[in-house]
Amino acid sequence: MITDYSIQAVAINAIPLIFAITIHEAAHGYVARKFGDNTAYMLGRVTLNPAKHIDPVGTILLPLALVLMGSPFLIGYAKPVPVNFGRLRNPKIDSIWVALAGPGSNFIQAIIWMSLWLILKGFQVDEPFFIAMAQAGVLWNIGLLVFNLLPIPPFDGGRVLSGLLPTRQSIALEKLERWGFFIVLALAFTGILGSLWMDPLRNFFLEIINLITLPLQMIFGA
């Protein structure tokens, strides 16, 4: 929970969040290009330039609103990377990999931030700014990973589910896309999103990351 609104506190959270969102969106475009669709690349979206991906509502206003509301979890999103699924070599299957690229990048980033945190602790680096930033990096990336795996279009989890379903059911699911964001907002404000999705999956992925970084924990006695 963010309770300190100083410039330092904003920097601690903003830096990992910008990385998390920027790499997430660039990963979608990169994988789409690998599978045959150059749309995002031609529009300059396969880039680590944050300005290309920041959405005023999803990247700034939504996380800020959740902070002010005292939300137990923090989420956000960026401008969606354009993907022409019809250009993918195998649209049904390739679309799943394109969708998973973003959350996958957040999972990898969470591991990196956790590793950095363990290394700082192991070398007894007593610098609150960097330790807090590493912790924020883990939490932001896990939050974005879990949030984007929601099985509701247009979120990445909805794209994955659509790719796994038979054609008729996939078309029916995609019709929910125009209402997806409003459905998620309703779930968030009623607390259902946090209690039944965000919290359980966040704990699940944190346990996995703890297992992956166990060798570092053993080396540094963390």
Domain ranges for the chain, please list them: 7-220
Between residues 215 and 69, the one the model is more confident about: 215
pLDDT band at 17 (very low <50, low <70, confident <90, very high): confident
Catalytic residue of the set 25, 174, 177, 207: 25
Tell me the C-alpha distance between 149 and 159, whole Å.
9
Residue 5 scores a pLDDT above 60: no
Active site residue 127: no
Average pLDDT over residues 205-219: 95
- Cβ-defined contacts of 66-72 (< 8 Å, 24+): 67/1, 67/2, 70/1, 71/188, 71/194, 72/1, 72/194, 72/199
- State yes or no: pLDDT of 60 exceeds 80: no
- Provide the whole-model pTM: 0.88
**Is it the case that residue 139 has pLDDT exceeding 70?**
yes
Distance CA 92, CA 86 (A): 9
Residue 35 clears pLDDT 60, i.e. is over it? yes
Residue 45, Cβ density class (10 Å: 0-12 exposed, 13-18 middle, ≥19 buried): buried
Both tokens of 6, joined, read 């100083």
The closest of 214, 190, 206, 188 to 74, measured between CA atoms, is 188
What would the pLDDT profile of 69-126 be if each residue is shown by its tens digit? 666 556 666 788 899 999 999 999 999 999 999 999 999 999 999 999 999 988 988 8
Confidence (pLDDT) at 67: 62
Query: Does 10 score more than 60 pLDDT?
Result: yes
